[in-house]
Chain A
Amino acid sequence: MTLLIYGIINSVILALYALGFSLCYGISGIANFAHGAFYILSGFVAWNFMNAAGLPFYLAAVLAVAVTGLLGFLFYWALLLRIRGVPLAELIVTFAAGVGMLELLMWRGFYGMRYSLPLFVRGGVEIGPVAVDYQRLCVLTTGVVLVVLLWFFVHHTRIGLAFRAMAQNERTALSIGVESDWIGSLSLALGSALAAVAAMVVLPLGMMESAIGLEVLIYALAVAIVGGLESTVGMVAGSFIIGFGQVAVARYISAKWMIIAPLAAIVLVLVIKPSGLFGKFKELEERV
């Protein structure tokens, strides 16, 4: 029972990490390696809004999401525009920007016990024999709501449909009047805003330090590789495999070896089905 409940929660956390990353990659083909940096940056933005500007947490959280989204948007126009379409240059630039941001945060002294975000709700509830605190349930709800909202967004709104058009064929999308740079920068903005949302609900569970940024990136990558990028089902499945794998390893072997789970999952999936569990044919060509 514990395994089931904490497995689900852990998986949803991983899905939240990966959501923005795989959305952004799926749409514009930009593997945003600065994803983890945006995640942790939003945490510190929220912290500063609360402690330096004295705003209440809810307002600070909303503002932090907005600011991070805006940063993602500017990131595209300032840096990525000029190297668009060269995947490896994009990769190196986003990675360098991400690491640079993390190092700057570290240098400014943003680590240690005093940096943490408050919980939404205190207390907890007992589901059968297992005690779960409300914050973790919050994470669960947020994750489910976000996935549903996103699905609705990309299937039933104009911008969402433009996103999917870009993902399927950039040139055709261009010819029917979808502006590729505009959509690309929006996808990056949305991706980083999603990272910020994830940060707002997950960060209160622990303390903030810039090293978490890399961890988030690693998990997002692992989920993306296992599940196959660009498909939402694959992403959810990937995060459940890794999430349950981790909890199982922690329970039956030792918590020390938890980190092995994503690696083992990646290698297994690559051996069995190199395009990722739910990858499409187009992806197979790209990856292998």
Chain B
Amino acid sequence: MVATSVHRRKKRLDRGIKARTDTIFLIASWKDMLYLLLPRMLPVAILLVLPVLVKGYWGKVLVYACIYGLLALSWDFMAAGGLFSLGQALFFGLGAYLAGILNYYLHLPPVVTVPAATLGGGLLSAALLGSVVRLKGVYFAMITLMLPLLFKKVIETTGAFGGTHGLPSLTPFPSELLTAYLAVGGFLGSLFIFRRVINSDYGLVLRAIKDDDRAVMSGAINIYGRKIQAIFISGAVGSFAGALMTHYYQFLGMSVFALDYSILPVAAVALGGQGTFAGAAMGSLILVPLSESLRALGGLRIAIYCGILIVSIIGFPEGLFHYLARKYHQFERVVEVK
């Protein structure tokens, strides 16, 4: 036998159902429809059924996963417009404090406080970050990192709104099941809307701002106005998550401005893959249960998120979702190099 070295390579082919572009499909049969619908509908169906099936501790984990998922989605939405934030905790904290204050001092029920906090949080975030919206990239990230930490400091030193002790015994939601469905509903709703919006004309402008803001300006579009709108939307979603968490905990403290709420969304998006929202959702649905099962490690949790974040950015920059989507849409076979 003569030893011949044979070089092989992987050949990738798009499946036949996919016609020319990433978003147009030729649907010819039930099988094709299932091929497209299953990966979309199955996770949604599972998430809708889960609150009924899991109770107790893992029910709580599900709610947390959805709340962090909302933050990750809002991060991804801002990032789609080129606004990279290191302080999602700002939105979360604003929502939580608004809901808590309305409930504690004015005794309003959650039916009023949650929507009020969502809107108010969005407006406040837009007002706070509106003045620095002209900054780009690293500089914008610096400001967003500082703001929640400064808020925490202010509350700590002035003792406003309960100060370091927080506001106890807030009104809970009527039932555990309702909370779970609020969280899941909000999560899936935002996911659906964001995915639609980002492919509409409005989303196209946002993505263009990220790619080349000068070009968008020369198209006579007010990019600062658009960025503020994006911050409002993203802030409202983050505040909704915060308001939900406050009533769920029935307690409000400074910890809502903590780094956890800034780091985990970024880690989730880095793990899942940026730009599709599905990646962000997937990342948080993986990370939160993972971190809950690592709870025995206590204080190390954030360090572990940081580790995952670093590894996934350096080693797997594409993200899990993009990888899986590619595998799903393509055949692979090994062929000989000639």
Q: What residues make up the interface of A, taking CB atoms closer than 8 Å to B? A: 31, 33, 79, 82-83, 87-89, 91-93, 95-97, 99-100, 103-104, 106-107, 214, 217-218, 221-222, 224-225, 256-257, 259-260, 262-263, 266-267, 270-271, 274, 286-288
A87 touches B138 (CB 8 A): yes
Nearest A residue to B159 via CB reads A256
A260 touches B138 (CB 8 A): no
A82 touches B314 (CB 8 A): yes
List of B residues within 8 angstroms of A267 by Cβ: 131-132
Alpha-carbon separation in the docked complex, A193 to B299 (Å): 28
Partner of B154, one of A33, A218, A260: A260
B146 touches A263 (CB 8 A): yes
A225 touches B314 (CB 8 A): no
B146 touches A104 (CB 8 A): no
A287 touches B139 (CB 8 A): yes
Partner of A270, one of B132, B153, B157, B303: B132
> Mind listing 5 A-B residue pairs with CB under 8 Å?
A92-B313, A95-B145, A97-B306, A257-B157, A266-B132
B183 on interface, CB distance cutoff 8 Å: no
Partner of B139, one of A97, A99, A225: A225
B27 on interface, CB distance cutoff 8 Å: no
Q: Contacts A270-B131, A271-B131 hold; do A225 and B142 have CB atoms under 8 A apart?
A: yes
Q: Contacts A96-B309, A103-B299, A259-B157 hold; do A89 and B135 have CB atoms under 8 A apart?
A: no
Alpha-carbon separation in the docked complex, A214 to B272 (Å): 27
Alpha-carbon separation in the docked complex, A104 to B299 (Å): 8
List of A residues within 8 angstroms of B134 by Cβ: 270, 274, 287-288
B84 on interface, CB distance cutoff 8 Å: yes
Nearest B residue to A224 via CB reads B142
What are the 6 closest A-B residue pairs judged by CB atoms, nearest first?
Answer: A100-B306, A96-B306, A103-B303, A96-B309, A107-B299, A256-B157
Alpha-carbon separation in the docked complex, A260 to B305 (Å): 30
B221 on interface, CB distance cutoff 8 Å: no
Chain B 275-319: CB-based contact to A (< 8 A → 1; otherwise 0): 000000000000000000000001110110111011001100100
Q: Contacts A100-B307, A103-B306, A106-B299 hold; do A288 and B136 have CB atoms under 8 A apart?
A: yes
A225 touches B136 (CB 8 A): no
B314 touches A83 (CB 8 A): yes
Alpha-carbon separation in the docked complex, A283 to B263 (Å): 28
A124 to chain B, nearest CB (A): 27
| Given A267-B132, A288-B135, 13 further pairs, Cβ under 8 A | A88-B137, A91-B141, A92-B86, A92-B313, A218-B145, A225-B139, A257-B157, A259-B154, A259-B157, A260-B154, A262-B146, A270-B131, A288-B136
